[in-house]
Amino acid sequence: MRALLKTPQGFIGIVLITIFWPFNWFLPGVRTAYCFFPLWLGYILTIDAVVLKRSGSSMLTRSRRDWLWLFIISAPAWWLFEAINRRTGNWEYLGAEQFGNIEYFLLSTLSFSTVMPAVFETAEWVRTFPWTERFRASGPPRFTPANWKYILAGGLFSLALVLVWPVVFYPLVWLSVFFIIEPLNYRLGRPHLLECLAIGDWRPVVSLSLGALICGFFWEMWNYYSYPKWIYHTPGVEYLHVFEMPILGYLGYIPFAWELHALRSFLWPAAQRLRI
């Protein structure tokens, strides 16, 4: 802790968490609409400081411009899932009705801007652990250009199932976007996650998956006493809740991280590669 406080981002991050965690849980009224962003900014800055101490480099110190751009492209990426949720209805926000349309959009966009930075910072932290090296080569599949056509077709078919029969096929949301965007990244010559699998490097998949699961825990924990807050409607798995999320729902965070990586490459092809 003392070492983190010696870095600017670590000091600011810990201060933000210390202030806005209790504010988010215990202030009266619609506090989360205004506390969500500074609380998660505190998390992002703190993890960046941890990565810097462990590896000597971090997303923020390598490029402030790239770090800030992540916030900008994160919001439209999550709005995509909000659009799909209008059909599936898997989550809703209690208290959202207290805001006008413009205010709701602006506050939501600010909150959504933290999603990519949080997941990718945490993935880089996971990658600093030596045990991730054991996933460097482990019998990879071999992808050819023809495979990408099947992956794209599978993604489009999966999304169609979600939109036509959302009650049954809603879990496919967390794979269909990945299977649609990754082939497009391949055809456009942009970085894509499956190129790592093609050479037997599973480290990015592992780092992203665990990074999203860790973020998922904090999202759900901090959401539990929030207001406004989200709740879930997930037919067939409404049992064994950990906070508001059914325990099986946490599995969705794993492919969600892959989708975020694919969307980052698609929306911002010039971005520096993540160190995952």
Closest CA to 119 of 251, 261, 7: 261
Partners of 231 in the β-ladder: 92
Beta strands 245-246 and 229-232 are unpaired
**Is residue 145 pLDDT above 70, yes or no?**
no
Q: What are phi and psi of 274, to 5 degrees?
A: -70, 150
**Is residue 4 pLDDT above 80, yes or no?**
no
The stretch 191-212 carries a mean pLDDT of: 90
**Is residue 137 pLDDT above 80, yes or no?**
no
What pLDDT, on the 0 to 100 scale, is given for residue 139?
A: 60
The stretch 184-213 carries a mean pLDDT of: 90
What pLDDT, on the 0 to 100 scale, is given for residue 125?
A: 98
Q: What is the overall mean pLDDT for the chain?
A: 93
Is the CB of residue 194 less than 8 Å from the CB of residue 201? no
The single-letter DSSP state of residue 274 is P
The stretch 36-42 carries a mean pLDDT of: 98
**Is residue 172 pLDDT above 90, yes or no?**
yes
Q: pTM for the full model?
A: 0.95
User: Where does the pLDDT of residue 141 fall: very low under 50, low under 70, confident under 90, or very high at 90 and above?
Assistant: low
pLDDT above 70: percentage of residues in the chain: 97
User: Where does the pLDDT of residue 220 fall: very low under 50, low under 70, confident under 90, or very high at 90 and above?
Assistant: very high
Q: Of 16-20, 75-79, 195-199, give the lowest mean pLDDT range.
A: 195-199
Is the CB of residue 139 less than 8 Å from the CB of residue 65? no
Partners of 93 in the β-ladder: 230
Closest CA to 9 of 56, 34, 43: 43
What pLDDT, on the 0 to 100 scale, is given for residue 29?
A: 95
Domain boundaries, the chain: 67-267
The CA–CA distances, whole Å, from 142 to 137, 147, 195 equal 13, 9, 9
Task: Identify the burial level of 274 via C-beta atoms within 10 angstroms of its C-beta, where 0-12 means exposed, 13-18 middle and 19 or more buried.
Answer: buried
What pLDDT, on the 0 to 100 scale, is given for residue 147?
A: 80
**Rounded CA gap, 112 and 171, in Å?**
21
> Taking CA 58 as the corner, what is the angle to CA 57 and CA 59, rounded to the nearest 5 degrees?
140
Chain center to CA of 76: 13
What pLDDT, on the 0 to 100 scale, is given for residue 149?
A: 87
Is the CB of residue 225 less than 8 Å from the CB of residue 25? yes
pLDDT, greater one: 148 or 42: 42
Is the CB of residue 4 less than 8 Å from the CB of residue 10? yes
**Is residue 140 pLDDT above 70, yes or no?**
no
Closest CA to 120 of 185, 63, 170: 63
The single-letter DSSP state of residue 132 is G
What pLDDT, on the 0 to 100 scale, is given for residue 143?
A: 61
Residues with Cβ within 8 Å of residue 133, at least 6 apart in sequence: 203
**Rounded CA gap, 248 and 71, in Å?**
28
**Rounded CA gap, 36 and 226, in Å?**
9
Name residue, tokens 């973020």.
215
**Rounded CA gap, 206 and 216, in Å?**
15
pLDDT tens for 176-193 read 999 999 999 988 989 888
What pLDDT, on the 0 to 100 scale, is given for residue 201?
A: 87
pLDDT tens for 87-110 read 999 999 999 999 999 999 999 999
Is the CB of residue 200 less than 8 Å from the CB of residue 136? yes
Residue 212 tokens read as: 């999203």
